[in-house]
Amino acid sequence: MRHTLEYLLNQGLITAESTEKLKEYHTNRPLSIFWHVRTILYLGVTLLASGLGTLIYKNIDTIGHATIVIIIGLSSAICIYWCFKKADSFTFEKVPSPNTWLDYILLLGVSLFLIFEGYLQYQFNIFGNSYGLATILPALILFALAYRFDHLGVLSMGITLLATWLGISLTPKDLLVSNDFSDERIILAGLLLGVILTSLGYFLANRGIKKHFDFTYYNFAFHLSAFAVFGAAATFSSGWLWILLIGPISYLGYRYAWTISSFYFLLFSLGYAYAAVTYLLIKGLFWIEPDGILWGYLFMFYFIGTGLYSIRFLMRTYKNMTNDVRI
């Protein structure tokens, strides 16, 4: 700020008086602790929920545990009830949170609800052996709450539960760590989930129902299906055929990147497509002739050429996407 003001002053584009005024404004403007408070709240709620979860887990066979469980169930109910009391009435549009607490109380209520439900299933088998029902029901409740209170965090939790229901346990963080993408069933479930989430997101957003949720749906769908495809390529017997599915995935990602001017989607579409093409090429060349120094040269050329082309592509798309002449 200061340097640009001094520049403008030096060029005679602004008066010394205005510069002083702006500088003074800049030094006097308050420090925002908006994110600090929210981070603290988020951490507090997370710690509280995991503490209570551990408490139940550790005391599962002792006498006092019934009390703890009842307290947790009640607290969850109170939290969610409070949200219903405080929240603005429902609309299909994006609703700014009327009160800082609402988002976090809801998060706490939902986490406690999941602990409560998990406990009931574990201890009393309320859903019997239909574990599917034990995950899809809370998933549906989470979706409903996410839409009611316009909460992206709860929506992500709901999608995760939906994925669990489909046979995958996923959170973006340990997508790579915990998921064993070698199982055929899991790969198919991942692809299926990609299709379901994409269609669901598209359908709802197109109807104008919480349009801003579509990013979350597409984000999950995009990465999940891409990982499933690469998993399939590594596992199945004629895996390289599966790689061709990256084509539509990357294309949809690229289209979406243009729709919302998202460089994040642009980068990942390019990255997945690049990985797929490189994979096919290497696979193909080794199939033709498994060894040879010539391939070494060709690969180096390939990487240099595609690298240069991709850089041009990224820069040009960036320029067109921002529609900004000032690049």
Partner 1 sequence: MMLGYNEQKRSNYFHIDELVKWNKQQWISDLELNRLDEYLKPRYKRTNIFVNIGLFVLTSIIINSALGFMGLLFIGLLDFDHIWFPALVAGSLTLIGLQRIVIDDKNQFRTGADDATLYHALGFFYGFFFALFEDFLIDNELIILGFTTLFFGITAYIYLDRLLTALTILTALGFLFFLLFRLGGIVTLLMPFVMMIVASLGYFFSLKRMKNAKSKVIEECFEIAYWIFIALFYLSGNYFVVIELSAALDLTNSFPILIVWFLYAFTIVVPILYIIFGLKHKEASLLNFGLLAVALSVATLRYYHSSMSIELELIIGGLLLVGIAWVALKYWSSDKGGITLKPNKNLDDGLKIESLLIDQALSDSSTSQSFTGGGGEFGGGGASGDF
Name the minimum Å distance from CB 300 to partner 1. 4
Name the minimum Å distance from CB 43 to partner 1. 5
Residue 25 vs 251, nearer CB to partner 1: 25
Q: How many residues does the chain have?
A: 327
Residue 15 vs 91, nearer CB to partner 1: 15
DSSP assignment string, 159-226:
HHHHHHHTT----GGGTTTT--TT-HHHHHHHHHHHHHHHHHHHHHHHTTSSGGGHHHHHHHHHHHHH
C-alpha to C-alpha distance for 246 and 225, rounded to whole angstroms:
9
Name the minimum Å distance from CB 301 to partner 1. 7
Residue 52 vs 114, nearer CB to partner 1: 52
Phi/psi at 129 (5° precision):
-95, 5
- Dihedral sign (CA 145, 147, 150, 151): positive
Residue 131 vs 297, nearer CB to partner 1: 297
Name the minimum Å distance from CB 169 to partner 1. 22
Residue 104 vs 242, nearer CB to partner 1: 104
Within 8 A by CB and 6+ apart from 318, the residues are 263, 266, 327
Contact 115, 53 (CB under 8 A): yes
Residue 50 vs 169, nearer CB to partner 1: 50
What number of other Cβ atoms are within 10 A of residue 226's Cβ?
25
Name the minimum Å distance from CB 274 to partner 1. 9
Rg, Å, the chain Cα set: 26
C-alpha to C-alpha distance for 224 and 160, rounded to whole angstroms:
11
DSSP-derived 3-state class of residue 302: helix
Name the minimum Å distance from CB 207 to partner 1. 30
Name the minimum Å distance from CB 100 to partner 1. 6
Contact 107, 83 (CB under 8 A): no
Residue 6 vs 174, nearer CB to partner 1: 6
214-235 vs 263-288: helix crossing angle, rounded to 10: 10
